[in-house]
Structure 1
Amino acid sequence: MASAPQAQALPMFYKDLVPLNSKEHAKWKVKGLDDASFMQEQHAIPLTIDEFSNAARNYPIVFSVGENSVPLILMGLNEGVNTFMGEDGRFNQPAYVPAYVRRYPFMLAKLQPDADELSLCFDPTTGAIGDYKDGEPLFDKDQPSEKTKSILEFCEQFEQAGQRTGQFVEELKKLDLLMEGEVAIQQTGVEKPFVYRGFQMVNEEKLRDMRGDELRKINQNGMLPLIYAHLFSLQIMREVFAKQVQAGKVPQVTEAPTV
């Protein structure tokens, strides 16, 4: 979940990244975006463990494949399909908005790959920030405004939650609880089910077979409620699939593209 250095590929949503500073942006202001079209074609959004209980009410929570696995919410089951967003770039139903989305267009990032310090940066391609007449000022003379301080605090809290999330995933790996995920969904009138793969999930069988001391440990350290929030949320995959069918966005294949 940690923000990537600017020299590397930019994170999801971000088209460019510029450090915020009082010399260049002294008169700049920030205002709310008119819509969330920047996430309209994203089907999987990173999530921190701090958000599991809220997000699990609306979205399936899965884990990405690969060495640096992260939790993701699925807003669609196929790449480029977001069943929660309308064509106007707005949510088409009440739903939890992940912190990863709410921090955009800001983020903390290293200005140099070998640097330790993170700096507050923003995506200059967004219409949320600029030399506008309206909006909240980012600086009071040469000092950060209260708005900028609150943005910085939110980004710092996000990074801290990201670190806790990374520790949670590492512990799942140590306990060998993550497995390759697979969900088969049978559509009415279709002979073969749609099979979704390309993600990870907690192995319920291994969870049930854990030793008592291990189970007690993950209950005491708060991991167990997070695991069950993830497992219960997987039922929502069928609801998301149904929304895709209703929108006519289900591919006519028996195995869908991976997450």
Structure 2
Amino acid sequence: MKNNIVPLNSNDHLRMCVTESKDYRRFADQQLIPVVFHEFHQLATEFPLVFVKNSETGQFIPVAMMGVKNDLNLYCQTSEWPAMIKPKGFNNAPLSLVKTSQESDNVLICVDTASPLVTEVSENAQRLFNDDKEQSDYLKKRTQALLEIAAFNEQTGNICQLLASKSLFTAKQLTIKLAESQQPINIDGIYVVDEQALNQLSNEEFLSLKENGLLPLIYAHLVSLQQISRLIEKQNNYDLTH
């Protein structure tokens, strides 16, 4: 289904409602899910958190690995979310923020009218506007969450730039051996924080990371790499039934 993202307004969307859903199958073919540093501590208990590089901008982006095979998200194959935690961005749909221009910080609240989460008035749905054309409390809450995520994304980008400026990222090829396959899977294009480079920082640089609260985030990232074994187990179980 194609998206149809349009600016939200009370004239065209007065009776529009949205429903909440834990069905995230729209991410079923996305092996890597972008995340923000502010959720690293929670996500590190379930997912390997690594970095990828934007081929156009050269910027590093933190992602949660949810699969070991291309185009397969092991967590989003059924309508029920199987984990205790999930990325903040999973709950954005069908709403989003879009900048009015590249040079401006002004944003529009948009809605994907083609989303299955969009509906007419029903018992379990939330209206976006009241009859007086004012934003509903629900829409205000959702807008605040979108603004918060947008701020987190900007801060995450700044942190990645800082770590990159200190040459702390290193490319890492992940080699995965699955039960049903003779040949291992090599996952390329992944970056991690280089512990050796981290330890070789000057006392001043290391203290700067500490004072800015970045060391716990870095260590959460490094500890999360142990969750790769969880993904391998989930992939082996998936292969037995598919």
Same fold (TM over 0.5): yes
Find the aligned partners of 2:2 and 2:225 in 1 and give their Cα distance: 28
Evaluate the alpha carbon distance shift between residue 27 and residue 188 of structure 1 in structure 2; reply closer, same or farther with a 3 A threshold: closer
Evaluate the alpha carbon distance shift between residue 211 and residue 128 of structure 1 in structure 2; reply closer, same or farther with a 3 A threshold: same
2:151 to 138, 160, 177: 160
2:24 to 20, 36, 39: 36
Which stretch of structure 1 is more off in the superposition, 164-173 or 122-131? 122-131
Is 1:90 the counterpart of 2:83? The answer is no
Q: Is the 8 A contact 1:110 1:117 kept in 2?
A: yes
Find the aligned partners of 1:185 and 1:34 in 2 and give their Cα distance: 29
1:124 to 95, 101, 113: 113
Q: Taking every aligned residue pair, what percent have the same amino acid on both sides?
A: 25
Find the aligned partners of 2:70 and 2:182 in 1 and give their Cα distance: 24
What do the CA deviations read for 1:84-136 (whole angstroms, capped 9, x no partner)?
234x3222x32311111111211110245554410111211112223333322
Q: Is the 8 A contact 2:28 2:74 kept in 1?
A: no
Q: Is the 8 A contact 1:45 1:100 kept in 2?
A: no
Find the aligned partners of 1:189 and 1:139 in 2 and give their Cα distance: 52
RMSD of the TM alignment (CA)? 2.2
1:205 to 196, 206, 217: 196
Find the aligned partners of 2:160 and 2:2 in 1 and give their Cα distance: 25
Q: Is the 8 A contact 1:37 1:89 kept in 2?
A: yes
Q: Is the 8 A contact 2:18 2:119 kept in 1?
A: yes
Any residues of structure 2 matched to 1:141-156 within 5 Å, and which?
141-156=132-147
Q: Is the 8 A contact 2:40 2:217 kept in 1?
A: yes
Find the aligned partners of 1:14 and 1:246 in 2 and give their Cα distance: 32
Is 1:79 the counterpart of 2:67? The answer is no
Give the C-alpha shift of residue 36 in structure 1.
Answer: 1.8
Aligned residue for 1:109, secondary structure, equals strand
Runs of 5+ in structure 2 lacking a partner? none
Aligned residue for 1:143, secondary structure, equals coil
Q: Is the 8 A contact 2:121 2:127 kept in 1?
A: no
Is 1:49 the counterpart of 2:49? The answer is no
Find the aligned partners of 2:120 and 2:176 in 1 and give their Cα distance: 50
Aligned residue for 2:97, secondary structure, equals strand
Who is 2:88 aligned against?
Answer: 99
Find the aligned partners of 2:162 and 2:145 in 1 and give their Cα distance: 26
Who is 1:177 aligned against?
Answer: 168
Normalising to structure 2: TM-score of the pair? 0.89
Normalising to structure 1: TM-score of the pair? 0.83
What do the CA deviations read for 1:27-56 (whole angstroms, capped 9, x no partner)?
111222362221122211110111000000
Find the aligned partners of 1:50 and 1:14 in 2 and give their Cα distance: 31
Evaluate the alpha carbon distance shift between residue 16 and residue 181 of structure 1 in structure 2; reply closer, same or farther with a 3 A threshold: farther
Structure 2 letter corresponding to 1:102: N
1:137 to 127, 134, 137: 127
Evaluate the alpha carbon distance shift between residue 34 and residue 58 of structure 1 in structure 2; reply closer, same or farther with a 3 A threshold: closer
Find the aligned partners of 1:14 and 1:38 in 2 and give their Cα distance: 11
Who is 1:238 aligned against?
Answer: 229
Who is 2:50 aligned against?
Answer: 62
Structure 1 letter corresponding to 2:190: F
Aligned residue for 1:234, secondary structure, equals helix
Structure 1 letter corresponding to 2:118: I
Find the aligned partners of 1:52 and 1:156 in 2 and give their Cα distance: 19
Which stretch of structure 1 is more off in the superposition, 110-119 or 239-248? 110-119
Q: Is the 8 A contact 1:33 1:127 kept in 2?
A: no
Evaluate the alpha carbon distance shift between residue 236 and residue 78 of structure 1 in structure 2; reply closer, same or farther with a 3 A threshold: same
Which structure has more strand as a fraction of its residues? 2
Structure 2 letter corresponding to 1:210: L
Structure 2 letter corresponding to 1:122: V
